[in-house]
Amino acid sequence: MNYAVIKKNDIANGPGVRVSLFVSGCRHHCKSCFNAEAWDFAYGAPFTDKTIEEILTALAPDYVAGLSLLGGEPFEPENQEAVLRLVKKVRQRFPEKTIWCYTGFTLEKDLFPGHVGTPETARELLSNLDVLVDGKFVEELKDPGLLFRGSSNQNIIDVPQSLEQGHMVLLPGKWYRTMGSGNIDEA
């Protein structure tokens, strides 16, 4: 796997200050994607053990709330093993920090049924996440006021509860408010 960039003080991709890893490789090719250069699986630099250590070091300060995984596409079959290796190390070293993952795949149509990559690997990767933001970016549904997502079709999912209950469980309604307006997005 390659990765495009590591942001060590990100406040846009989950609550609090986060370390964000943008992996390379994505077949979704969403119209007006903000990171289209990362569609190429060869873009960026190789993801190595040294990269993992860099991320773990960046996660160490108390003020860092957790890790966010973006892309490209973390759930592309070619990326799953490396992403899983990373999240397992983060869980082991920082069990109190949250792990968010952004994917163009959907939990119920793609990931739960095991249609993406190796079902066992995808399921283990899911089991190490706290939050999944699922669904492709849809330009026609873009709303810059949405919290932690680009378009209103995307869901902010409580992964442990979803795995326990066997169906998608959204995070509480506050995550669906638009910034500055207090309005609830019913999508």
Could you tell me the residue ranges of all domains in the chain? 2-176
Contacts 24+ apart (CB under 8 A), 149-156: 150/34, 152/185, 152/187, 153/187, 155/106, 155/107, 156/131
In this prediction the pTM is 0.90
**Residue found under tokens 């209950």:** 165
Angle between helices 77-93 and 119-127 (to 10 degrees): 30
Q: What's the rounded Cα separation, in Å, for the pair 137 and 146?
A: 12
User: What number of residues does the chain have?
Assistant: 187
Per-residue confidence of the chain (187 residues) as pLDDT tens digits?
999 999 999 999 999 999 999 999 987 767 766 677 877 899 999 999 999 999 999 999 999 999 999 989 999 999 999 999 999 999 999 999 999 999 999 999 999 999 999 999 999 999 999 999 999 988 999 888 888 988 889 999 999 999 999 999 998 766 655 444 443 333 3
Residues 45, 106, 133: CA angle, nearest 5 degrees: 65
